[in-house]
Amino acid sequence: MGGIAVVVTATFAIGVWGSSHARTTSDLHRARRLVREERNAAAISGEYLSAASFLGVAGLVLKDGSQALWYPIGFASGYLAVMLFVAAPLRRSGAYTVPDFAVVRLDSPWLRWLTTALVVLIGWLYLVPQFQAAGLTFAVLTELPAWVGAVALLPVVLASVFSGGMRAVTLVQAFQYWLKLFAITAPAFVLFGVFLLGGSADRLNEPGPVFETRTAVEVETPVTLRVVEPTWVLVDAPRESPGGPLQPNGQANTWVPPGEYEVDAGSTLSFEAGAAVPVVSEAEPDNGSWLHPSGSGPASLVGTYSLLVATFLGTMGLPHVLVRFYTNPSGHGARRTALFVLVLLGTFYLFPTVLGLLSRLFVPKLLVTGQTDAAVLLLPNAMLSSWPGGVLTSLTAAGAFAAFVSTSSGLVVSLSGVVSSNFQRVRGWHMPLLLLASAAVPMVLALLVAEQDLARSIGLAFAMAASTFCPLLVLGVWWRGLTAFGAAAGLVAGGALVLAALVVGALRPGGEGVLAELVQQPALVSVPVAFLVMVLVSAGTKRQLPEGVSRVMLRMHAPDRLGFQDDRRVRKPVPSKDSGGRHRR
């Protein structure tokens, strides 16, 4: 807990220092639009590297092996799409948020309400896993109930954003990126050195993971275990289980043949040294398939391509990402910022992969419980005894907490800013209520909904963003034929498909085949449908094109040096004679 205390103290100190320079509304939401590219890139990276990146990637690598590498690839490469398609034009448009862009580009005030609702929905989908990860971290480190960590995160996030808005949050998140990078690289280098010097590399040649010492595993949630190699196990369960050989028997070991077995919550399974590790049903049971890509069938390909579509295109639709680019002084600066972010993220994602590989060898018990997201937190003490392991554990806990705080605070600021911009008057006492609601609602949802892998939970937020805001931004920036009715139809179609997949997945979890893969990650269908609906409906309503579309398109694509950029919220230019003031307000 010492590492978490340091992060909280540093966050408050930097936030208070940054708040001493925050005096205006522009400071609260836009940091005066004077953030340098390098600092803004660090802030974006710090905000973007959430619990799914710090904990979830290593957990997926532990469970799924090489198949999980598509997640960090997609998370990082999404900024390539941002840099190529929307960063500079969106900055030049003068639109601070996606709802602002809908008004500026499509001259449709009513479309603002639909886009605002989607911003809130995407933000909450992204925030729920942050609170779940905070609960997991506290449960692992303190053995307190998971809800304690989720509740404890709320005041820290609110305090960081109350201190000075976007300007203070920018400083905090830039600091937290470098903290997270150090918190993941230092343990990775130290533990990988221990791995090489300890002669453990040959263990990857074994058929599957094994317990090095006698190990007792406490199962906190019901799981289905797959036994590939027959093994001995001592079962201590709260009640009789229908799991065949896995019956409660606290007196002697039971011989368990290959198969799948249900294990109740509250059970304790004890394994002898050298016993093969049974794994949760969705994990790779043998090291051969774990090390090499497997599943070349249609279902596997559909799942992989759908994930890549969601992560590559969903980044540009994340509300807290788009807000960040508006803090740059120019479109050229926004594009350079996206390039720097690519470098920073590519560097970071090398190291969770290493920790996931080591976790397969040294904390295989997580494959029994299914709580693989805890791998980064438990690995140091599993590989190093005494104080070195404790120091590295404190460091990883600090990095994990920084991931929760930075992502959550950025999302809370962006959500409250989007909601407040929809109202003519937002009084001073309204903003704390908006900030509180933006954080409290997802915290409550995190306590109510069932947990799943953090990276996969975040994947749903990416799918929603890719299926709604990505078509709106790409077509709005590059196709003058987009209309407000076409945009609304595409937003509803794409968002409805993702929500339908979310509901079906909650009602009927599991399953195999192409349909099951699309339920888990629907972007491969929902994104093309959203694009197609926007184009077709816009073509049918082309008479509804806004009158000022040519002026807006010119402003978005003209080089910065020509001076067409219009920061609408900063100054109020005098309308030209031919415009009548309609599009220059």
Q: Which parts of the chain register pLDDT below 70?
A: 1-8, 10-35, 160-169, 199-202, 204, 237-252, 293-297, 422-431, 450-452, 510, 563-585
Q: Which residues contact 43 (CB under 8 A, 6 or more apart)?
A: 35, 169, 170, 171, 173, 174, 177, 324
pTM confidence score: 0.84
The residues, ordered by sequence, that sit 6+ positions from 222 with a Cβ below 8 Å of its Cβ are 262, 263, 264, 265
How is residue 190 written in tokens? 């130290």
- What pLDDT score does 294 carry? 61
Residues 399, 404, 408, 409, CA torsion sign:
negative
CA dist., res. 464 & res. 460, Å (int): 6
Residue 424 pLDDT: 54
| Alpha carbon separation from 274 to 45, 218, 241, 366 (Å, rounded) | 42, 19, 26, 16
- Token pair of 533 as six digits: 């609906």
Residue 235 parent element (H or E): strand 231-236
- Hey, which residues does 224 pair with through a beta bridge? 262
Res 578: pLDDT = 41
Query: What is the per-residue pLDDT for 27?
Result: 43
Beta bridge partners of 261: 225
pLDDT at 341: 92
Inter-CA distances, 458 with 167, 351, 407, Å: 26, 19, 12
Other Cβ atoms within 10 Å of 385 Cβ, number? 9
Question: Is the sign of the CA dihedral 518, 523, 524, 527 positive or negative?
Answer: positive
User: Residue 219 in 3-state DSSP?
Assistant: strand
| pLDDT on residue 346 | 92
pLDDT at 25: 43
Q: What DSSP string runs through 55-119? A: IIHHHHHHHHGGGGGHHHHHHHHHHHHIIIIIHHHHHHHT-SSHHHHHHHHH--HHHHHHHHHHH
pLDDT tens digits, residue range 511-558?
777 888 888 899 999 999 999 999 999 999 988 888 888 888 988 888
Q: What is the largest CA-CA distance in the chain?
A: 92
Chain length of the chain:
585
Rounded CA separation 484/115 (Å): 11
Answer for the pair 322, 97: CB distance below 8 angstroms, yes or no.
yes
Q: What is the pLDDT of residues 3-50, one digit of tens each?
A: 666 666 766 666 555 555 544 444 444 444 456 788 888 888 888 888
Asked if 307 contacts 74 with a C-beta cutoff of 8 angstroms, the reply is yes
CA angle 308/58/246 to nearest 5° reads 110
Cβ–Cβ under 8 Å, residues 62 and 445: no
Which backbone phi and psi does 216 adopt, to 5 degrees?
Answer: -105, 130
Q: Which residue has the tokens 């903290």?
A: 179
Comparing C-alpha atoms, which of 138, 129, 28, 137 is closest to residue 435? 28
CATH number listed for the domain at residues 2-195+313-453: 1.20.1730.10
Burial (Cβ within 10 Å: 0-12, 13-18, ≥19) of residue 492: middle
